[in-house]
């Protein structure tokens, strides 16, 4: 199924009126849905994302359609391109609608930059991200609905606020016009591309592309629908086994449920899962109260010893909860010493390890 994220000022009919994706999807036997983001001018607002998620859940709940949940694709243009990338970066729960590959056409990558450089649209940001009064848009709220934020003078991306990192494993192709009539959008996309390649390790190739099209204007017509669908059709959903994740709210990200220490801020953490050695690593955490890992989803065995590496970047201890742990451990050892600051609930089969501090530790849980 292809999800089309509509442009600024257009409704859900954008896909029908202004693109070839309806015809292209029909020819391929694909489903297509173009959710209204709650408003024609939503700029990736949380309200628009709630609406989009509700539409996708509603469509996928119809079992008679037999939609392949591992082949959900997304394409968006301009405001819709930014909304698509942010939606994909914030919706990382494999048990819910999660996009397998995305195509960004000249997307709005940084709302704070748009707010600075496009004064006529500021009242919209003040509505969605402020209290409606002039200049009230909150910078953090705009950043959590973007994929990057950067210094307007140096163009340096804020590496503590880049939701783009959550897309490191998602097949992503960007097409932008060489001569776009909205000049800040090529700038934003170029900066995003540089960040993805230089800081996040994306390499041009099968799963990542950045194409500048010799096109003048700002229009859906620049993007070839058949080419975009051909590219996306290569991929099925693949959930990574390692990553550098940035959470902005209590939610599931890949194999983990994040509970923040404080709302209204980001929670970064680095992680990896090695099924062969039955090892989990959770490091460089900030603003984290508790991280819950589903042992079944992660492919971790409760029948052999589990090794857990933990550390935090803010010096605070984090609780780690392992669900579907089948029985009371015979021993829990941290840094070679048996400890008591853990709890096993036999009714819920939840094993909770209480972190006392942020120093690096190695835990061993023996069945």
Of 173, 204, 232, the residue at which a domain comes to its end is: 232
Q: Are residues 87 and 199 in the same domain?
A: yes
Query: What gap in Å lies between CA 326 and CA 306, rounded to an integer?
Result: 13
The pLDDT assigned to 284 comes to 98
Helix residue ranges per DSSP H, the chain: 14-18, 21-28, 46-60, 79-90, 111-117, 122-129, 139-144, 184-198, 225-232, 295-298
How many other C-beta atoms are found inside a 10 Å radius of the C-beta of residue 48? Answer: 24
Is pLDDT of 367 > 90?
Answer: yes
356 band by pLDDT with thresholds 50, 70 and 90: confident
Q: Are residues 74 and 93 in the same domain?
A: yes
Between vectors from CA 231 to CA 150 and to CA 182, what angle results, nearest 5°?
40
Using CB atoms within 10 Å of the CB of residue 261, give its burial: 0 to 12 exposed, 13 to 18 middle, 19+ buried: middle
Is 237 a member of any domain?
Answer: no
Q: Are residues 226 and 250 in the same domain?
A: no
State pLDDT tens for residues 225-241. Answer: 999 999 999 999 999 99
The pLDDT assigned to 37 comes to 92
- Strand ranges across the sheet with 2-5: 32-33, 2-5, 73-77, 101-105, 172-179, 208-216
331 band by pLDDT with thresholds 50, 70 and 90: very high
As for how many domains the chain has, the answer is 2
Of 232, 264, 285, the residue at which a domain comes to its end is: 232
Of 232, 262, 297, the residue at which a domain comes to its end is: 232
Domain extent for 225: 2-232
**Exposure of 281 in the CB half-sphere (CA atoms within 13 A):** 13
Q: Are residues 226 and 266 in the same domain?
A: no
Q: Are residues 33 and 126 in the same domain?
A: yes
Is 332 a member of any domain?
Answer: yes
- The enclosing domain of 188 has a CATH number of 3.40.50.1820
Average pLDDT (343-355) is 96
Query: What gap in Å lies between CA 123 and CA 128, rounded to an integer?
Result: 9
State pLDDT tens for residues 17-60. Answer: 999 999 999 999 999 999 999 999 999 999 999 999 999 999 99
Is 115 a member of any domain?
Answer: yes
Query: What gap in Å lies between CA 256 and CA 249, rounded to an integer?
Result: 13
The pLDDT assigned to 78 comes to 98
The pLDDT assigned to 237 comes to 98
Q: Are residues 96 and 138 in the same domain?
A: yes
The pLDDT assigned to 108 comes to 97
Q: Which two tokens stand for residue 330?
A: 């015979």
Q: Are residues 89 and 226 in the same domain?
A: yes
Query: What gap in Å lies between CA 340 and CA 358, rounded to an integer?
Result: 18
Q: Are residues 247 and 143 in the same domain?
A: no
Q: Are residues 222 and 304 in the same domain?
A: no
Q: Which two tokens stand for residue 236?
A: 């099925």
Query: What gap in Å lies between CA 94 and CA 242, rounded to an integer?
Result: 15
Is 273 a member of any domain?
Answer: yes
The pLDDT assigned to 319 comes to 97
Q: How far apart are the first and last CA of the chain?
A: 43
């Amino acid at each position: 199924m292809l999800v089309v994220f509509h442009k600024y000022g257009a409704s859900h009919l954008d896909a029908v009126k202004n693109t070839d994706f309806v015809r292209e999807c029909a020819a391929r036997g694909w489903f297509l849905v173009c959710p209204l983001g709650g408003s024609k001018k939503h700029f990736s607002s949380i309200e628009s994302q709630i609406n989009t998620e509700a539409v996708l859940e509603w469509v996928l709940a119809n079992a008679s359609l037999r939609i392949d949940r591992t082949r959900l694709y997304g394409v968006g243009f301009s405001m819709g391109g930014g909304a698509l990338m942010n939606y994909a970066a914030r919706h990382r729960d494999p048990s819910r609608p999660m996009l397998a590959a995305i195509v960004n056409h000249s997307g709005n990558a940084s709302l704070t930059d748009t707010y600075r450089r496009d004064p006529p649209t500021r009242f919209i940001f003040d509505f969605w991200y402020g209290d409606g009064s002039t200049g009230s848009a909150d910078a953090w709220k705009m950043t959590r609905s973007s994929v990057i934020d950067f210094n307007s003078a140096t163009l340096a991306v804020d590496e503590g606020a880049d939701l783009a990192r959550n897309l490191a494993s998602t097949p992503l192709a960007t097409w932008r016009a060489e001569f776009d009539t909205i000049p800040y959008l090529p700038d934003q996309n170029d900066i995003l591309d540089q960040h993805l390649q230089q800081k996040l390790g994306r390499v041009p190739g099968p799963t990542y592309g950045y194409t500048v099209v010799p096109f003048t204007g700002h229009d859906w017509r620049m993007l070839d629908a058949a080419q975009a669908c051909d590219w996306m059709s290569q991929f099925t959903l693949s959930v990574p086994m390692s990553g550098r994740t940035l959470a902005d709210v209590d939610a599931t990200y890949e194999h983990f449920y994040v509970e923040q220490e404080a709302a209204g801020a980001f929670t970064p953490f680095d992680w990896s899962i090695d099924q062969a050695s039955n090892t989990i690593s959770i490091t460089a955490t900030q603003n984290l109260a508790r991280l819950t890992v589903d042992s079944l989803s992660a492919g971790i065995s409760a029948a052999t010893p589990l090794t857990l590496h933990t550390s935090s970047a803010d010096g605070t201890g984090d609780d780690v909860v392992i669900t579907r742990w089948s029985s009371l451990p015979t021993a829990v050892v941290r840094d070679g010493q048996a400890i008591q600051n853990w709890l096993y609930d036999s009714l819920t089969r939840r094993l909770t390890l209480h972190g006392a501090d942020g120093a690096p530790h190695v835990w061993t849980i023996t069945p």
